[in-house]
Structure 1
Amino acid sequence: MSVVAVALLGGFFVTLVLGLPIYLALGATSIAAIILLDLEPLRVVASTVSSSINSFSLIAIPVFVLAGNILADSQIGSRLIELALAIVGRLRAGLAFVTVGVGLFFAGISGSGPADTAALGAPLIPAMEKRGYSRAFASALVAATGALGLVFPPSLGFIIYGVVARVSVSKLFVAGVLPGILLALALAVVAYVKARRNGWDQGDAPAAGVDGGDSVATAPNELACGYVRNVARAFGRAFWGLLAPVIILGGLYGGVFTPGEVATAVVIYALFVAVVVYRDLSVRDVARIIIRSARTTGVIMIIVASASVFSFLLNTQGIAAAFGGMLSTLSDNPLLFLLAVNVIVLVAGCVIDGISITYIFAPIMLPIAIRLGVDPTHFGVILLVNIAIGQTTPPVGVNLFVACAVGRVSLAQISRQMPVIFVAQLVTLALVTLVPGLSLWLPRMFGL
């Protein structure tokens, strides 16, 4: 291994072990290597950073972050939870189904795993505990559900991958729909099995005909009418919020909007609903949300900038090519190659954030995948499912830390609940890897 490779990779992992933030570990290692080993003129840092963030597709990131924060800070989320409870709340494990269903809805708005985890956890973790769920499992389920935002559109991860791989972001968004739904269903199955085995959340539907007499015949109709009334009432309260993902997915499927344009449309719509229709937010609240969204965007963009410099050095110094050559010698079988990709990215996801993984590994692995006949859109979905799993794997799974804070549980407690969820995630990853149609059928159907 060359001196440059040792300096870059070794320096990066040393700085991570020392506890430096990921952007500083990438940036400081890159700049130190450039200066100490005289790899490039130092001005290359500025030019690389400028070119990496000067992308039209990246405009969608701050706008989707803003849209997600507006909807999360308004009462739209509570109205959606009310609707989901009205529909499935009385079933066995009904509240777990509500958590996954509302999580999929939030994933269809913000595209941010930590934001979705925080928005879901505050109201749902205490509610699940009241129905008998252990607080640790409820927190783990919320963390895993929050990760749906990396797979289901509009995923910020797909925007980053689209920029790095030069793949249509709109196509990636559409490709993530079925895998995102499949991942949500896997989590729902896990929650149901756990609830059934542990006697949690038995459901609270009243029995028909308990009063005897004519009520035996009329109770089912009365129950049905009451159920319909409750669902209709909750639907009316949540109606305006339900239109947000319709705007996103409809605009993308219909080719009406680019990702950046659809994000802007959602922000305008979210502001209208939260400020004018529901009147949940004041002008001061909106100003506070804009500031918080700007900070979040700044964190994302500084990671993009640092990772782009690190990736630039990996490529220009031949490290990426050498690593790619090692991968290509493993097998000419695309399935074996994708298996190796899954293992590498899953391990990396335990210690590195998704943006850095995309910038470091996508330029190395994607050319080999294309040579082996793997569609770049399919490869992107595989990569993002891996990264989504990484958000829930210790020791640095960001969703776990958010869920721990919201659920008031320790990392050790929540980690003990993750293996069964991890199995469900791996089954989904295997299906997405082995069945390209799960990622490619919808884009083809819509001519993308």
Structure 2
Amino acid sequence: MSTDTKKSPGILHWLDENFENIFLVSGLLAIIFFITWQVIYRYFITPLVERAGAAVWTEEISRYIFIWISYIAVSVAIRKRSSIRIDFVYQMLPPRLQRISWIFVELIFLMLTLTITYYGWGQIERLQRFPQHTAAMRIPFLIPYLILPLGFGLMSLRLVQSMIKQIKVTGVLDSIIGAVVAVAVMSPCVLAEYIDPVPALFGYFLIFCVTGVPIAIGLGMSALTTILCADTLPIEYLAQVSFTSLDSFPTMAIPFFIAAGVFMGAGGLSQRLLGLADELVGGMYGGMALTTVATCMFFGAISGSGPATVAAIGALTIPAMEERGYSKTFAAAIVAAAGAIGVMIPPSNPFVVYGIAAQVSIGDLFIGGIVPGVLTGAVLMGYSYYAARKNNWRGSARTRTVGTVTRAVWDAKWALLVPVIVLGGIYGGLMTPTEAAAVASFYGLIVGVFIYRELDFRKVCACCVEACETSAVIIVLMAMATLFGNIMTIEDVPGTIARAILGFTSSKIAILLIINVLLLIVGVFMEALAAIVILVPILLPIVTGVGVSPLHFGIIMVVNLAIGFLTPPVGVNLFVASGISGTRIEQIAKASLPMIALMIVVLLLITYIPAIPLCLVGGAG
């Protein structure tokens, strides 16, 4: 009896800690295998087997599993409090107000999840009364739609658990204060008979952003409050769009590319890339700094993420630069700056998000990012060489020959094949970007487990959870931005802003300068992906009105917002580099100022000379 009593809490605790992880690991691996099988089936099975047909079921079931694991992963993000939010106001608050703010934030979050849970169950009841089936597998739509009440219900449970823990830390009185503030903020949309939708939409969004509510939740809650204030849309629409906005094959490229980068970082590919870069440029002045930039460019062509690039490469190169006498602040700053190249060189998650938001070819955006990424890498290398000569930071003194370079290339061959697989598959017409991303994930998994043997079962599970959690934060942001954007469209907000700016000036040069300054300011306070999903519907009509192609503007926007990875208070690359190096963010930010200036020069070149970024895509635009 006593033994069972001791064991039972252990099992329950394990389930509580790992419940979501079971679904995330099995779900992510399943969709990677399904989409990889889709490609294999198309090119190897269909030509050999008569009447084999098409494997249409793989895409359909993968989309629905993708929606399920995306929303389940949000529960993991809730527990870890890992979300995209503007927290510079939070950072300035005294500890007591910080604790109170968490009660406010999580209560606002809970209001949204409970609302979607309730109306999600309404969708289930309608599908019970009027059954519908999926096109390929004839699955009742009720099954995929169950994620709305179950997924958002699980989020609600995790939020309640988190609030209970926070109340113990904050205290009952202060927790009541936080709850009263939340009720007070929400009361106008319930008590007022009517509030104009545009002030309600943007007013509430501003309040939620400033108070540290995750941006995705701020978008969803400001849409909900506007619906309550002005009856802009049926409230049931929130649940419907929460599902349909993710039911998209191109959107699945995001978790696949993130998974590929995570698998390859944990699987040892980053170390091989570092060895190759060291052989190529490590012997020059500033050799390790040059190696860092080159490796970030290589790794950017795998991960598609700035912070992931800084984490994977910085952990190896910052200590190595310190050993060679480099300033610790310079070492951290050059890694943070070079990490921004990770979102320019394809594959790039911001390009995927922009392509979906603006309906532009993701493949063309990838190609358009190559030259800006290489240019940025070149100017950062030039600055590294200059700083090294000035401070007498020499490269590692050892013999480098054709033989040593060849060996380094051979050691890194599996990593170097990734861009060939992704870009070759896309531009060879063999795979869509989503299929190429899935194949890259599968490839990274196989290399890490069976070739380098640095991924065991536990590490694979951890990589899957990390990839799902990271991508879910982005994907939920896109879903809530769809709600926000639909209300903006109904109220003609983008058109009104476009007409106002074009009425002020019709100069293409002036408008691009204004937009670049705006984006640089936005990048200081807002994460790049959030800025893209919010601003694309507003800015795209303006730039197309003066003859800038959506493709060219996408490249401008991503390169501009990449600079935001280096600018506090939301410069995520700075946070990662600070954590690795143990250096204060202010010191790293100060050391990165010349690098930011050089990156702005590159931005101006690609803005006003379209032939530079578009030269590899036939000069389109």
Q: TM-score higher than 0.5 here?
A: yes
1:444 and 2:586 correspond: no
- For residues 174 and 108 of structure 1, the distance between their equivalents in structure 2, rounded to whole angstroms, comes to 12
Higher Cα Rg: structure 1 or 2?
A: 2
1:384 is displaced (CA, Å) by 0.6
**CA offsets, 1:50-104, max 9 Å, x none?**
3332222111111111110000001111111111112211110111111111101
Say if 2:259 and 2:463, in contact at 8 Å, map to a contact too.
Answer: yes
Amino acid at match of 2:429: G
**CA offsets, 1:269-323, max 9 Å, x none?**
2122211111111133212211211111211111112222222222222322222
- For residues 150 and 248 of structure 1, the distance between their equivalents in structure 2, rounded to whole angstroms, comes to 15
- For residues 392 and 22 of structure 1, the distance between their equivalents in structure 2, rounded to whole angstroms, comes to 20
Say if 1:111 and 1:150, in contact at 8 Å, map to a contact too.
Answer: yes
1:112 and 2:316 correspond: no
Q: Which runs of 5+ in 2 are unaligned?
A: 1-194
Say if 1:22 and 1:353, in contact at 8 Å, map to a contact too.
Answer: no
- For residues 353 and 259 of structure 2, the distance between their equivalents in structure 1, rounded to whole angstroms, comes to 17
1:267 is displaced (CA, Å) by 1.6
Which of 314, 317, 323 is the aligned partner of 1:121?
314
- For residues 356 and 238 of structure 1, the distance between their equivalents in structure 2, rounded to whole angstroms, comes to 34
Say if 1:330 and 1:337, in contact at 8 Å, map to a contact too.
Answer: no
Say if 2:287 and 2:396, in contact at 8 Å, map to a contact too.
Answer: no
Task: Quickly say closer, same or farther: Cα 1:278–1:159, change in 2 above 3 A.
Answer: same
* Structure 1 residue aligned with 2:388: 195
1:196 is displaced (CA, Å) by 2.2
* Structure 2 residue aligned with 1:60: 253
Q: How does 1:15-94 map to 2 (within 5 A)?
A: 15-94=208-287
* Structure 2 residue aligned with 1:287: 461
1:408 is displaced (CA, Å) by 1.5
1:397 is displaced (CA, Å) by 1.5
- For residues 305 and 205 of structure 1, the distance between their equivalents in structure 2, rounded to whole angstroms, comes to 52
Say if 1:48 and 1:312, in contact at 8 Å, map to a contact too.
Answer: no
Task: Quickly say closer, same or farther: Cα 1:161–1:204, change in 2 above 3 A.
Answer: closer
Amino acid at match of 1:238: A
1:339 and 2:513 correspond: yes
* Structure 2 residue aligned with 1:97: 290
1:179 and 2:372 correspond: yes
- For residues 267 and 89 of structure 1, the distance between their equivalents in structure 2, rounded to whole angstroms, comes to 30
1:203 is displaced (CA, Å) by 2.6
For residue 504 of structure 2, give the secondary structure of its aligned residue in structure 1.
coil
1:141 is displaced (CA, Å) by 1.5
Q: How does 1:9-408 map to 2 (within 5 A)?
A: 9-199=202-392, 201-205=393-397, 227-408=401-582
For residue 401 of structure 2, give the secondary structure of its aligned residue in structure 1.
helix
1:227 is displaced (CA, Å) by 2.1
Q: Which range moved further: 72-81 or 231-240? A: 231-240
For residue 350 of structure 1, give the secondary structure of its aligned residue in structure 2.
helix
Say if 2:273 and 2:299, in contact at 8 Å, map to a contact too.
Answer: no
* Structure 2 residue aligned with 1:209: none
Q: Which range moved further: 292-301 or 46-55? A: 46-55
Q: Which runs of 5+ in 1 are unaligned?
A: 207-222
1:406 is displaced (CA, Å) by 1.7
Say if 2:197 and 2:229, in contact at 8 Å, map to a contact too.
Answer: no
1:178 is displaced (CA, Å) by 0.8
Say if 1:432 and 1:439, in contact at 8 Å, map to a contact too.
Answer: yes
- For residues 578 and 338 of structure 2, the distance between their equivalents in structure 1, rounded to whole angstroms, comes to 14
Say if 1:26 and 1:310, in contact at 8 Å, map to a contact too.
Answer: yes
1:46 is displaced (CA, Å) by 2.5
- For residues 348 and 310 of structure 1, the distance between their equivalents in structure 2, rounded to whole angstroms, comes to 18
Say if 2:372 and 2:613, in contact at 8 Å, map to a contact too.
Answer: yes
Amino acid at match of 2:390: R
- For residues 243 and 500 of structure 2, the distance between their equivalents in structure 1, rounded to whole angstroms, comes to 31
For residue 132 of structure 1, give the secondary structure of its aligned residue in structure 2.
coil
- For residues 10 and 160 of structure 1, the distance between their equivalents in structure 2, rounded to whole angstroms, comes to 25
* Structure 2 residue aligned with 1:214: none
* Structure 1 residue aligned with 2:30: none
Q: Which range moved further: 176-185 or 2-11? A: 2-11
Amino acid at match of 2:503: T
* Structure 2 residue aligned with 1:420: 594
Amino acid at match of 2:316: P
1:14 is displaced (CA, Å) by 2.4
Say if 1:55 and 1:163, in contact at 8 Å, map to a contact too.
Answer: no
Say if 1:91 and 1:205, in contact at 8 Å, map to a contact too.
Answer: no
1:268 is displaced (CA, Å) by 2.0
1:169 is displaced (CA, Å) by 0.8
Amino acid at match of 1:402: V
- For residues 485 and 577 of structure 2, the distance between their equivalents in structure 1, rounded to whole angstroms, comes to 31
- For residues 129 and 306 of structure 1, the distance between their equivalents in structure 2, rounded to whole angstroms, comes to 44
Task: Quickly say closer, same or farther: Cα 1:137–1:312, change in 2 above 3 A.
Answer: farther
- Higher relative contact order, structure no. (Cα contacts within 8 Å, ≥ 6 residues apart): 1
- For residues 429 and 379 of structure 2, the distance between their equivalents in structure 1, rounded to whole angstroms, comes to 30
Say if 1:174 and 1:253, in contact at 8 Å, map to a contact too.
Answer: no
- For residues 242 and 611 of structure 2, the distance between their equivalents in structure 1, rounded to whole angstroms, comes to 36
**CA offsets, 1:229-260, max 9 Å, x none?**
32222222212221111212222232222101
Say if 2:288 and 2:396, in contact at 8 Å, map to a contact too.
Answer: no
1:355 is displaced (CA, Å) by 2.1
1:164 is displaced (CA, Å) by 0.9
For residue 525 of structure 2, give the secondary structure of its aligned residue in structure 1.
coil
* Structure 1 residue aligned with 2:197: 4
Amino acid at match of 2:378: L
For residue 233 of structure 1, give the secondary structure of its aligned residue in structure 2.
helix
Say if 2:288 and 2:321, in contact at 8 Å, map to a contact too.
Answer: yes
RMSD: 1.9
Say if 1:114 and 1:146, in contact at 8 Å, map to a contact too.
Answer: yes
Amino acid at match of 2:380: L
Amino acid at match of 2:377: A
Q: How many residues align?
A: 427
- For residues 344 and 51 of structure 1, the distance between their equivalents in structure 2, rounded to whole angstroms, comes to 32
1:3 is displaced (CA, Å) by 4.3
